[in-house]
Amino acid sequence: MVELLCQHCNYRWDYHGETRFYATCPRCRYKVRIPGEAARRVRLKRLRKNMEREAGDEKKTARLIGVAAIVKGVVEEYSRDRSMMIQVLLRLQKSFGWLPRDVLTEASKQLKVPLSHVYQIATFYKVFSLAPRGRHLIRVCMGTSCKVRGAEQILEQIQGLLKIESGETTPDGNFSLETTKCLGCCGPGPVMTVDGKYYVNLKPAEAKLVLRRYVR
């Protein structure tokens, strides 16, 4: 920051911009020359910004190389077979916790299928997530059988406790909440899973006890 004085209207102001030689007076739009020391500071500021940008680019490149290597490993495990796309995406989701855009792009490149097709699959199946998930994934079954046994109250109880809606993640990143149509064990409903572990015959008060086990 440097203090500048406009020779045209005598207005003084603190300059935070990035131009090296001239600044525009905010009052009269007159071009004011930035003095030598000020120009040096502006230059330093710009240099620092460039260095930060380059460091960011390097980080990005390193991540892309890492992503490419992981995707390659998974794709080769399935012999680059395009018909195994769902399995490939499941494995990638397990590795990354979710499916970021650069991972899907890399999978599309390595399997030689259009990116739109990869997205079709990733958005069609509820098991895939295109947004970061919390450390613990809660799935509440809202299938007919669980619904008639009180799944809605379980869901309401969990939403109230975590203060999130279905499809959201708690601000501390500990829980993500999802609903599903059927978890495949309709008899002892209502059912919910936490990180794949089944909890059956649930009562709303029990849901609270279950969640307590996963609080950090």
List of residues contacting ligand FES (CB under 6 A): 141, 143, 145-146, 182-186, 189, 191
With respect to ligand FES, which residue has the nearer C-beta, 71 or 158?
A: 158
Q: What are phi and psi of 15, to 5 degrees?
A: -95, 125
With respect to ligand FES, which residue has the nearer C-beta, 4 or 146?
A: 146
CB of 187 to ligand FES, least distance (A): 8
With respect to ligand FES, which residue has the nearer C-beta, 161 or 200?
A: 200
CB of 189 to ligand FES, least distance (A): 5
With respect to ligand FES, which residue has the nearer C-beta, 114 or 184?
A: 184
Query: What six digits make up the tokens of 191?
Result: 């059912």
CB of 146 to ligand FES, least distance (A): 3
Query: What six digits make up the tokens of 134?
Result: 């919390």
Distance CA 70, CA 60 (A): 15
Q: At what angle do helices 36-77 and 101-111 cross, to 10 degrees?
A: 50
CB of 202 to ligand FES, least distance (A): 11
With respect to ligand FES, which residue has the nearer C-beta, 23 or 146?
A: 146
Residue 98 exposure: Cα atoms within 13 Å on the Cβ side = 14
Among all residues, whose Cβ is closest to ligand FES? 143
Distances, alpha carbon 82 to alpha carbons 86, 127, 164, in Å: 9, 19, 37
With respect to ligand FES, which residue has the nearer C-beta, 110 or 145?
A: 145
Distance CA 112, CA 82 (A): 8
Nearest to 194 by CA among 209, 203, 186: 209
CB of 166 to ligand FES, least distance (A): 15
CB of 92 to ligand FES, least distance (A): 27
HEC string of 108-138 equals HHHHCCCHHHHHHHHHHCCCCCCCCCCCEEE
